[in-house]
Amino acid sequence: MSTTPASLLQLARDTLDIEAAALEGLKARLDERFVRAVQMVLGMSGRLVVTGMGKSGHIGRKIAATMASTGTPALFVHPAEASHGDLGMIQPVDVVLAISNSGESDELVSILPVLKRQGVPLIAMTGGLQSSLAQHADVVLDSSVEREACPLNLAPTASTTAQLALGDALAVALLDARGFRAEDFARSHPGGALGRRLLTLVSDVMRSGEQVPRVPPQAGFSELMREMSHKGLGASAVVDEAGRPVGIFTDGDLRRLIEKGQDLRGLSAGEVMHAQPRTIRADVLAVEAAEMMEQHRITSILVVDAAGLLCGALNTNDLMRAKVI
């Protein structure tokens, strides 16, 4: 046993080489059995029930979670618990994905005859192609590896990597076959960053009604300043009689006018505003507002409805509070 930096790094590299070789071997062995497994899951009217013991069980839990979040109804059932009542969770309309490197895990093998009597379709993911699990299965996915990355060739390492990768391959094939989209993924992840980016609309985060600072073009500079200070957006829309935004005036514009030493008291909103302000629709994704603001290097943007009338406003702080950016 050596703990020198060189030996530790070499052991790590050897581990990655062994696991990479295991995945290359897995890729080369993919055949029509994989296609049949995908078709079996696509054709089910129930759920994909994943089961496995020990490290294979941990992999199974992850595969079930990935399936559930990518459009395939799935759950994990522990084989030992299945023997004590949880088999009732599995119905003939389901498909079982059983994972075991050896294919001979006692707790798993004991429930196989019951599953067959119930007529539940069974997909085996195993390295034991002549095992009890393989013999009971309708489809066998070969997850065998030449050796484990463990120096003793005992601890599940390369074999669990192969199982995980094969589970991901199934999930990806299924989500593509179902036409699963980013929006679908977001709906199952509403609390995550992706969900917020793909589900949050401008209308969800914008200021509306009396919260939106607005003045007519003829408003005096003092009135413009009061509106900006009162509403706290850092800007004010300048709108025509119909309510369409014709300009915007921001804190940055104010600083630039002061730096010029210009007398502001006699100026109107129409004289100091930026004409043709950037606007966005209320029914688009908030992330699009963030991208527009970044692209044009602005901190506030006006929101309009389908008729082009001002209906809201938002700034970068609003987007940050909503965790869109």
pLDDT in tens, 224-235: 999 999 999 999
Gap between the Cα atoms of 206 and 286, Å rounded: 9
In this predicted structure, the answer to whether residue 63 has a pLDDT above a threshold of 80 is yes
Average pLDDT on 246-257 reads 93
Which among 147, 180, 213 is the end of a domain? 180
Both tokens of 62, joined, read: 């992850």
Whether residue 235 sits in one domain with residue 173 = no
CATH code of the domain containing 75: 3.40.50.10490
pLDDT at 260: 85
Q: What is the mean pLDDT of residues 212-236?
A: 94
Residues 6+ apart with CB under 8 A from 27: none
pLDDT band at 239 (very low <50, low <70, confident <90, very high): very high
Structural domain includes residue 192: no
- Please indicate, yes or no, whether residues 135 and 173 belong to a single structural domain of this protein: yes
> Are 256 and 123 part of one and the same domain?
no
SS (H, E, C) the chain: CCCCHHHHHHHHHHHHHHHHHHHHHHHHHCCHHHHHHHHHHHHCCCCEEEEECHHHHHHHHHHHHHHHHCCCCEEECCHHHHCCCHHHHCCCCCEEEEEECCCCCHHHHCCHHHHHHHCCCEEEEECCCCCHHHHHCCEEEECCCCCCCCCCCCCCCHHHHHHHHHHHHHHHHHHHHCCCCHHHHHHCCCCCHHHHHHHCEHHHHCECHHHCCEECCCCEHHHHHHHHHHHCCCEEEEECCCCCEEEEEEHHHHHHHHHCCCCCCCCEHHHHCEECCCEEECCCEHHHHHHHHHHHCCCEEEEECCCCCEEEEEEHHHHHHCCCC
What is the count of structural domains for the chain?
A: 2
**Is 196 within a domain?**
no
Q: Is residue 185 part of a domain?
A: no
Q: Which residue, of 150, 180, 210, is where some domain finishes?
A: 180
Q: Residue by residue, what is the 3-state secondary structure of 173-189?
A: HHHHHCCCCHHHHHHCC
**CA–CA gap between residue 235 and residue 272 (Å, rounded):** 12
Domain check: are 153 and 48 in the same one?
Answer: yes
Query: Any long-range contacts for 249-252 (C-beta under 8 Å, 24+ apart)?
Result: 249/224, 249/273, 249/274, 250/274, 250/298, 250/299, 250/300, 252/299
Q: Is residue 188, in this structure, part of any structural domain at all? A: no
The reply to whether 37 and 79 lie within a common domain is yes
pTM above 0.85, yes or no: no
Mean pLDDT over 62-75 rounds to 94
Final residue in a domain of this structure, among 180, 211, 246:
180
Task: Specify the range with the lowest mean pLDDT, choosing from 17-21, 26-30, 253-257.
Answer: 253-257
Q: Is there a single domain that holds both residue 42 and residue 143?
A: yes
Query: Are residues 113 and 242 both part of a single domain?
Result: no
Q: What is the pLDDT of residues 84-101, one digit of tens each?
A: 889 999 999 999 999 999
Q: Indicate if 18 and 136 belong to the same structural domain.
A: yes
Residues 172 and 33 in one domain: yes
CATH of the domain at 251: 3.10.580.10
**Does any domain span residue 89?**
yes
Whether 141 maps to a domain, the answer reads yes
Query: Is pLDDT of 183 > 80?
Result: no
Is 269 found in the same domain as 171? no
Flag whether 296 is in a domain.
Answer: yes
Q: Write out the residue range of the structural domain in which residue 131 sits.
A: 5-180
Same domain, yes or no: 207 and 145? no
Q: Report the mean per-residue pLDDT for the chain.
A: 93
* pLDDT(179) > 80: yes
Residue 269: pLDDT over 70:
yes
- 323 vs 8, residue with greater confidence: 8
Out of 120-134, 186-200, 263-277, which region has the weakest mean confidence (pLDDT)? 186-200
Residue 245 in this model has a pLDDT that exceeds 70: yes
Residue 66 lies in a domain: yes
Is residue 102 located within the same domain as residue 247?
Answer: no
Find the range with the poorest average confidence among 18-22, 43-47, 86-90, 190-194. Answer: 190-194
Tokens 């030996």, located at residue: 7
Evaluate if residue 191 carries a pLDDT over 80: no
Check pLDDT > 70 for residue 143: yes
Per-residue confidence at 214, pLDDT binned at 50, 70, 90? very high
pLDDT higher than threshold 70 for residue 259: yes
